[in-house]
Structure 1
Amino acid sequence: MIGRMLMGRLSLIAMMVVVGSLSAASQGTLSSWTRDAQRRVVKIYGAGGMKGLEAYQSGFLVSPDGHIATAWSYVLDVDPIVQLDDGRRFESTIVGFEPALELAVLKIDASDLPYFAVESESSANWGDPVIAISNLFNIATGNEPASVMQGSVASITKLDARRGTFKTPYRGNVLILDLIANNPGAAGGALVDARGNLIGMLGKELRDTATGVWLNYAVPAAALRGTIGDIIAGRKTTAPVDTTPMLARDRSHDFTSLGMVMVPDVLESTPAYVDEVVAGSAAQSAGLRPDDLVLLANGTRVESQRSFRKLLRTVDRRDDVNLTIQRDSEILNLVLRP
């Protein structure tokens, strides 16, 4: 961790050296573009997951009406608090998410906000200078601007090119960066070009399981555009659970019948974490493990244990249950067969 923090500081120093070498006019223009981009980046505070990890990350505004794109992670186990560049804090709601892209869209009750236009085609090329803007290490608090790091695009490649050594569900092209953006709080931040235009979303902390090397990358904005638009327009949502049972209660699934023991349900919004798996049960046969977090059940978002339980009561005991779960940094699809 110390080494990664040191590298991050070195990148910040490198940015100052680069900016210092520019003409006064160019330096002023770059500073203005960077500051405009910072106003479009937000700080997100939520949950720390089962392992007490950092409960903060980054996001960026994608509409003037308060829609925010960010990385899907354990921080969003609860509806998070969003803090804008000017210091204002808002409660947010999760409008929708796409596990395959590790993307989530939040909404705050605000309007006339500065935002990034998400282009349909990527303008990033190898060697292009870039600026990463994020809530790195939660250094910026209150109305302080988000942290800034300068670097370049080292390469553009598919994330699964290493044959599965990186545990992530995303399988598209990524921008490999030569700056140390793979640190707590940076996930979901904005990667912009030298003129402050959005070109990508900073990825989560990702480590090569074969070599132990940390990967600094961003998902191209063009890969996110369609899904962000669908979620905002309501064409792709994680609709709330229908709490009206469709079938008699004695014919519906529950945790016990499927062989799952959940963590203690002590709060109204206790996440659907699996505590134990019963030997010989449907859950064990499906490959479910302790500490798995249930994200979707039959395509519907699982907001809490209580919503999960209500959803199971609408499914006949004779029918399969399709689950999307998060296991560490992996997103997996499992089928529980009674």
Structure 2
Amino acid sequence: MVHEQPRSQCIPSQCVPRHSTPSRSLRLTTFLLFVFLANTASAQTSAHDWARTAQSKVVKVYGAGGMKGLEAYQSGFLVSPEGHIATAWSYVLDVEPIVLLDDGRRFEAEIIHFEPSLEIAVLKIDASALPYFELPKIREVQWGDPVLAISNLFNIATGDEAASIMQGRVASIASLDARSGTLKTPYRGEVLVLDLVANNPGAAGGAVVSADGKLAGMLGKELRDSATGVWLNYALPADVFRKTIGDIIAGRATSSAAAKEPQLPRDRSHNLQTLGLVLVPDVLETTPAFVDRVVTGSPAEEQNLRPDDLILLVSGQRTENQRLLKKRLRSIDRRDDVTVTIQRDNDILTVVLKP
């Protein structure tokens, strides 16, 4: 018996041999897949490049640990090619700090000035041609935007090791003023609330950057709600501190005014005794103005100043050491009130001492 082969159901001109070249649709699909993979790889490479560039602008800051032996390290980031560094004001800056750059170079830094209402400080190192973040005029991120938090949290990075990176999003943009009295911070304004655990020891002063590598904010210090005990992971928006840092860099906000002010006669000016303050022994030219004892019945006791409080500002002028504090008091009439900004542990407080 002869079996007939099944006849082809296609028109000869449309029949495709089993081993023919791929169809046009298959070739198009393959090409689009190749383009997608190439673009994905390119995007990953680009994201890695700008993230690494942002890391190179973040520095490690080492200083004092305060009177109670707290962590002696935090983070900062470069805001000018001439070595200006923005960081958080904290007990780490009780003394002139040491700064380590991303490439491992080590510098002694000078504290140029700080703004207590924002809890930020500007340092200066003797270097040039450094990578730096430009301070944005407008807010770079909004609610839901992806961000990277770059800092030396837990002092993980040492030497020329790059700062640590955490990835997350802006969970919300909220005002700390709405929770006044429950959060111990002098700042009253909007913050970027982050959905990552970014505010760890050492992270304060670190940079928060947007998805395209632009500066979005500065990581704040560890902050806990006194009512609930919940820790807040937040950053100060860059557009909030842009003008302050610009003024400090430009010299429009300096701490040298006290040395230039006219000195009043000793019987007409304030001094430590009129305020009821006894400081720790002044053994060095740079001894910080730590309170050792408060005199009973004095203006200092009335305003609840305590031992271990560090006097930061007098009438808005920074007092880097005890000698500058005494000069500053010599320029204030004994009949006038004295506004003093102090640091107590991790809090910044402003009190008015009435004669």
Matched, 1:253 2:288: no
Of the candidates 73, 82, 90, which is equivalent to residue 90 of structure 2?
73
1:216-259 deviation line (CA, Å, top 9, x unaligned): 10000000111111111111222253178622234332222321
The answer on whether the counterparts of 1:294 and 1:302 sit within 8 Å (CA) in structure 2 is: yes
Of the candidates 284, 296, 320, which is equivalent to residue 303 of structure 1?
320
Matched, 1:155 2:168: no
Residue matched to 1:283: 300
Matched, 1:332 2:349: yes
Distance 1:185 1:332 in 2: 22
Distance 2:349 2:88 in 1: 17
Distance 2:262 2:175 in 1: 44
SS in 1 for 2:43: helix
TM-superposed deviation, 1:311: 2.2
1:266-285 deviation line (CA, Å, top 9, x unaligned): 33222112122212111122
Residue matched to 1:54: 71
TM-superposed deviation, 1:101: 0.7
The answer on whether the counterparts of 2:58 and 2:163 sit within 8 Å (CA) in structure 1 is: yes
Residue matched to 1:232: 249
Matched, 1:179 2:196: yes
Matched, 1:201 2:234: no
Where in structure 1 are there 5+ consecutive unaligned residues?
1-21
Residue matched to 1:133: 150
Matched, 1:103 2:116: no
1:77-88 pair list within 5 angstroms: 77-88=94-105
* Cα distance change of structure 1 residues 296 and 63 upon mapping to structure 2, 3 Å threshold: same
Distance 2:190 2:335 in 1: 41
TM-superposed deviation, 1:174: 0.5
For residue 25 of structure 1, what is the amino acid of its counterpart?
Answer: S
TM-superposed deviation, 1:43: 0.6
Normalised by the length of structure 1, the TM-score is 0.89
Distance 1:186 1:300 in 2: 27
1:27-56 deviation line (CA, Å, top 9, x unaligned): 221111110000111111111111111111
Distance 1:265 1:224 in 2: 34
TM-superposed deviation, 1:154: 0.6
Bigger Rg, structure 1 or 2? 2
For residue 228 of structure 1, what is the amino acid of its counterpart?
Answer: I
Residue matched to 2:7: none
1:154-213 deviation line (CA, Å, top 9, x unaligned): 111002322321100111110111111111110000001122111000000111111111
Matched, 1:215 2:238: no
296-305 vs 234-243, greater mean Cα deviation = 234-243
322-331 vs 120-129, greater mean Cα deviation = 322-331
SS in 2 for 1:294: strand
SS in 2 for 1:155: strand
Distance 1:315 1:164 in 2: 32
Residue matched to 2:286: 269
For residue 297 of structure 1, what is the amino acid of its counterpart?
Answer: V
Aligned length in residues: 317
Residue matched to 2:26: none
Normalised by the length of structure 2, the TM-score is 0.85
Distance 2:184 2:161 in 1: 34
The answer on whether the counterparts of 1:207 and 1:213 sit within 8 Å (CA) in structure 2 is: yes
Distance 1:262 1:94 in 2: 22
The answer on whether the counterparts of 2:82 and 2:127 sit within 8 Å (CA) in structure 1 is: yes
Distance 2:176 2:292 in 1: 31
Distance 1:201 1:243 in 2: 33
The answer on whether the counterparts of 1:262 and 1:275 sit within 8 Å (CA) in structure 2 is: yes
